[in-house]
Amino acid sequence: MSRMDRLSTDLERGFEALEEGKLDAAASALDRCKRIDRKHPDVVMLGAALADAEGDPDGAIEQYRLLVTLRPDDPMPRICIARLELHDHGDPDAALETVNAAFDFIDEEADLLEAIFIKAEALIARGELVSAREALGELATSAIDDPELAFDLAELCLSAEDSAGALRWVEVARKEAPDDVSLEADALHLIGRVHELNNEQEAMIVAWQKVRTLDLAAPSHDLSITEDEIEAIAAAALAELPEKVRTHLENVPIMIDDLPSEDIVADGWDPRILGLFQGTPLPEDVSGGTPSVTTILLFKKNLERSCTDKEHLAEEIRVTVLHETAHYFGLDDDDLEKIGLD
């Protein structure tokens, strides 16, 4: 077998291993490829993709930039750099500059879609919502037949405060998967959020009550946790707080339910919230306001659906408990964002 045949075989094995999530096998294939020709564009691309998959944005960007010099007419490396600059470095200015440079070379629909998506995200991060809506408006609904992608576009439109665009993409998702009950619940939830954005309270509640009904009937999530486990995690979260703070919380029970009740949703609360503080905040109670029964509610099904593994779930419960506890002490959502509990 010639050197180039070996290179081709190892490249194929490396990319297959990456697709299967076998990063060690991909790294071994990459090492063999580098011994043959480390500057070959496909070898550089494998190295960039591997660094990307390993969570090494700086290493990935370095390799993608080398690929730009080796394949200057290929938009893909620029698009990947822009994604990493935006999502990993948190630099929308750099991401926007990079992705704009890719448009001159795009001739594939998939590349165009990803570039527009990143451009819109960067513009939203910069607060340029009108420009983000204009960018998203370049996409034709007829070109999308993936319901998950349609939902991602609907979410992006919602972030850009484009109600019509969000509803348009929701309908695309519904059309592509008309019998998917879970997708219908997601569609109704997003429609409710559109009504929320437009201050259409009654329509929002109608949509969200339907979401609650569908979520209540849905099968248990693959990731599950017992109420005892939730209580243990919640207790550990409260134990992190200073003793003086814990003293104030002695009479504030933490209650666990599957989902918010119909009454809670009727009051305008999202049926997919993770937790809720109910009652009189401590500053009002101390200042002589009318006291009420005070509780912290955790919603088991919503917590399970929001997480990818047990470690993630435990952290989400911890943050939710601290978030709702902070509401008890009178902090609002802006305060919570500043301390990382939003």
Q: What is the pLDDT of residues 269-315, one digit of tens each?
A: 999 999 998 877 665 554 444 445 578 899 999 999 999 898 999 99
Mean pLDDT taken over the chain: 89
Q: Rounded to the nearest 5 degrees, what angle is found at the Cα of 121, between the Cα atoms of 149 and 16?
A: 50
Report how far apart, in Å, the C-alpha atoms of 342 and of each of 82, 322, 335 are: 26, 10, 8
| 229-247 per-position pLDDT tens digit | 999 998 888 888 778 777 7
More confident residue, 165 or 246: 165
Over residues 323-333, the mean pLDDT reads 70
Buried b / exposed e over 21-51, threshold 16 CB at 10 Å, is eeeeebbebbebbbeeeeebebbbbbbbbbb
Phi, psi of 253 (to 5 degrees): -75, 150
More confident residue, 197 or 287: 197
Over residues 196-225, the mean pLDDT reads 94
Identify whether the C-beta of residue 123 lies closer than 8 Å to the C-beta of residue 135.
yes
Q: Which amino acid is at 106?
A: I
pLDDT for position 40? 94
| 2-52 per-position pLDDT tens digit | 888 899 999 999 999 999 999 999 999 999 999 999 999 999 999 999 999
- Pick the closest to residue 11 from 37, 35, 29, 34 (CA basis): 29
CATH of domain 140-219: 1.25.40
| 64-118 per-position pLDDT tens digit | 999 999 999 999 999 999 999 999 999 999 999 999 999 999 999 999 999 999 9
Identify whether the C-beta of residue 32 lies closer than 8 Å to the C-beta of residue 43.
no
- CATH 3.30.2010.20 placement within the chain: 227-338
10 Å Cβ neighbour count for 65? 16
Q: Which two tokens stand for residue 85?
A: 């600059």
pLDDT for position 282? 61
Say what angle helices 75-87 and 92-102 make with each other, to 10 degrees. Answer: 170
Q: How confident is the model at residue 251 (pLDDT cuts 50, 70, 90)?
A: confident
pLDDT for position 287? 46
- Pick the closest to residue 255 from 297, 301, 219 (CA basis): 297
pLDDT for position 178? 87
Structural class in CATH, domain 227-338 = alpha beta
10 Å Cβ neighbour count for 288? 7
pLDDT for position 173? 93
Cα 336 to chain centroid, rounded = 19
- CATH 1.25.40 placement within the chain: 140-219
Q: Which two tokens stand for residue 304?
A: 């399970």
Using only C-alpha atoms, the chain has a radius of gyration, in whole angstroms, of: 24
More confident residue, 330 or 164: 164
What distance in Å separates the CA atoms of residue 47 and residue 49, rounded to the nearest whole number? 6
Over residues 143-158, the mean pLDDT reads 93
pLDDT for position 163? 96
